[in-house]
Amino acid sequence: MANQCSIEGCMKPIKAKHLCAMHHQRLLRYGDPQHERVKAKEINCKWRRCEQPSVAKGYCQTHYLASRYLDKIGMAHIQTNMATHNH
Ligand SMILES: [Zn+2]
Ligand SMILES: [Zn+2]
């Protein structure tokens, strides 16, 4: 559609210069609407399906504590089972 942002994959409505508000902002701020903020390489939590950044031993805060607890009670293997028990 003609009134969508011209950046590929962006479906937001145009605000100015064929760009949506977000991409227009980037154009103003960085001179490049496709500018991405360079972020430090983040390693995600290794817990299944968790996308939090890891803070300790490859786990996010929550799962680090959880895995430590599971370890302590000798049930570290349970995390995979827990994550797949969806049905
Ligand atoms: Zn856009
Ligand atoms: Zn996690």
In a 10 Å sphere around its CB, with 0-12 CB exposed, 13-18 middle and 19+ buried, how is residue 2 labelled?
exposed
22-54 pLDDT, tens digit per residue, is: 999 999 999 999 887 665 566 889 998 998 888
pTM over 0.75: no
Per-residue pLDDT, 23: 95
- Is residue 2 scored above 80 in pLDDT? no
Could you tell me the distance, in angstroms and rounded to a whole number, from the CA of residue 45 to the centre of ligand 1? 30
Give me ligand 1 centre to Cα 8, in Å.
8
Contacts of 4 (CB under 8 A, 6+ apart): 10, 11, 12, 13, 14, 20
Q: Where are the beta strands (DSSP E) in 12-58?
A: 14-16, 19-20
Cα 53 to middle of ligand 2, angstroms: 7
